Amino acid sequence: MAPKSVMSKNKTVAVIGSGLAGASVAHAFRQRGCSVTIIERHADIASEASATPSAVLMPRLTARESTDGTFYAHAWQTLLSLLSEVAKNGTNIGLQQCGVLHLATTEEETARQTAIIQSGALPHSLAKQVSPAEAAGLAGIDLEMGGLHFPDGGTLSPRQFCDALLDGSVVRKKLAAARLERDKDQWRVLDENGAPILQADCIILAGGLDSAVFDQSNWLPLTPRRGQLTRIPSNNVSDTLTCVLAGEGHLTPSRNGQHVIGATFDHVRPEDLGERKPQPERDADSRNVRIVESLVPGLLEATIEAVGESWAGLRCTTRDHLPLAGPLPNQASYLNDFADVKHGHRWTQYPRATYHEGLYVLTGLGAHGAVAAPLAADLIVSQAFGDPLPLPRNIAQALHPGRFIVRDLKRAKN
């Protein structure tokens, strides 16, 4: 399935988008010695989903062995190494590694967490199941339930993280890429008037939902989902909270007298899509408050009426909730070459898959972009260089941008 590798050290890379996806992939290519240019349409980096004021860092694990669980267990360890690397440089990314406690709000959730621990997806030093008493000790507040504790979890500022990861790359702002043209062995990036922006050997589409605006990528099945975070003033009791509490949503420890609670996950109305910046809504704040009430009843009662500033954004999701990371298939060739895949022929009977050479995509990061992006970025760099993959081959296939074309062909009626 893999295309031939196109990269070597002295080749040039252009990344479209400067959010967590673009910044992570830029950093990974820089680590391999490439010169990288970022194209960003806004006046500042990370101005869309990655402008979220804080991102909670915790792995998304599954009770039974699954591609999702395996991907996120690997992604967690990649993120932790990257955070140590960034910390060594002394860059401030707003990181608070205060730990995350995923509360077991029901018996089913306790059983799920027990299964996660028994699966050994993460070593004991990175994930531990704790009793209600241990949970209360870790959180610094009274709690009636235990949970899963991730000692290295916490929060960071995605924009500051992106800024740190973009160190050493050239960032060209206020430029919207609209078209991609192949010019001999390179790609030319053009703006909406057809004026050239730059040429590069390798292009990574990391524009969130708008990774699909190009002729080569307009079939990518991406779905927007609205999300909102709410700030709420702390009180004497909630001020003693020392770690992030998670469940259906999350509550962060207070900073400057404010907790962040969230996040909603909603369908999108057409008016939310304009400029990719939905307006915060009071109803979403109320739902965030209710989520926190279900985790720690009464904790924020005294301040619940004083809901503060909210922030809303759009997540870019996929049908199977895994990112799209890898080489960009030539959709027309895929449809032609694999048309009868539903008949269950052996893969060896098919021609090699056809790709847009030197064109990769990293998007669909959904609700866990800060955790997923660094490993997904490493995957793309290893594919571009023809290096060993940083994760098992079946997981790389589960992230492959062509997977939905093949799945749809398998389900086709005719």
- To ligand FAD, the closest distance from the beta carbon of 89 in angstroms equals 21
Write the burial class of residue 404 (CB in 10 Å: 0-12 exposed, 13-18 middle, 19+ buried): middle
Residue 59 has which token pair?
């792995």
Residue 264 Cβ vs ligand FAD, minimum distance, rounded to whole Å: 7
Residue 22 or 390: which CB sits closer to ligand FAD?
A: 22
Report the amino acid identity of residue 149. H
Nearest CA-CA partner of 187 in 361, 14, 4: 14
Residue 162: partners with Cβ closer than 8 Å, 6 or more residues away: 18, 19, 20, 22, 23, 45, 46, 50
Q: How many residues does the chain have?
A: 414
Q: How far is the CB of 98 from ligand FAD (least distance, A)?
A: 14
Q: 17 or 253: whose CB is closer to ligand FAD?
A: 17
Residue 388 CA, chain-centre distance (Å), reads 23
Q: Nearer to ligand FAD by C-beta: 228 or 235?
A: 228
Q: Which is nearer to ligand FAD, 177 or 341 (CB)?
A: 177
Output the smallest distance, CB 342 to ligand FAD, in A: 32
CA distances from 276 to 51, 215, 249, 314 (A): 11, 20, 23, 7
DSSP secondary structure of 224-247: EEEEEEEEEE--TTGGG--SEEES
Residue 286's nearest CA partner among 269, 264, 265 is 264
Residue number with CB closer to ligand FAD (155 or 330): 155
Could you tell me the sign of the dihedral formed by the alpha carbons of 2, 401, 73, 208, in that order?
positive
Please state the closest distance from residue 351 (CB atom) to ligand FAD, in A.
32
Q: Which residues bind ligand FAD (CB under 6 A)?
A: 16-22, 39-42, 46-50, 52, 55-56, 158, 176-177, 206-208, 210, 213, 227-229, 262-263, 313, 315-316, 363, 365-371
Q: How near is the Cβ of 343 to ligand FAD at its closest, in Å?
A: 36
* Least distance between ligand FAD and beta carbon 347 (Å): 31
Considering the complex, state which of residue 52 and residue 62 has its C-beta at the smaller distance from ligand FAD. Answer: 52
When the beta carbons of 34 and 365 are compared against ligand FAD, the nearer one is 365
- Report, in Å, the least distance between residue 209 CB and ligand FAD: 7
Residue 139's H or E segment, with its range, is helix 132-139
CA distances from 184 to 58, 199, 200, 215 (A): 44, 11, 11, 18
- CB-wise, 28 or 177, nearer to ligand FAD? 177
Tell the smallest beta-carbon distance from residue 3 to ligand FAD (Å).
22
Contact 407, 8 (CB under 8 A): no
Contact between 18 and 171 (Cβ < 8 Å): yes
* Smallest gap from residue 210 Cβ to ligand FAD (A): 3
Structure tokens at 313: 């954004």
Quick one: 149 or 368, whose CB is closer to ligand FAD?
A: 368
β partners of residue 251: 245, 261
Paired sense of beta strands 310-317 and 223-233, if any: antiparallel
> 31, 60, 16, 49: which is closest to 372 by C-alpha?
60
C-alpha to C-alpha distance for 51 and 43, rounded to whole angstroms: 13
* Nearest residue (CB) to ligand FAD, 166 versus 341: 166
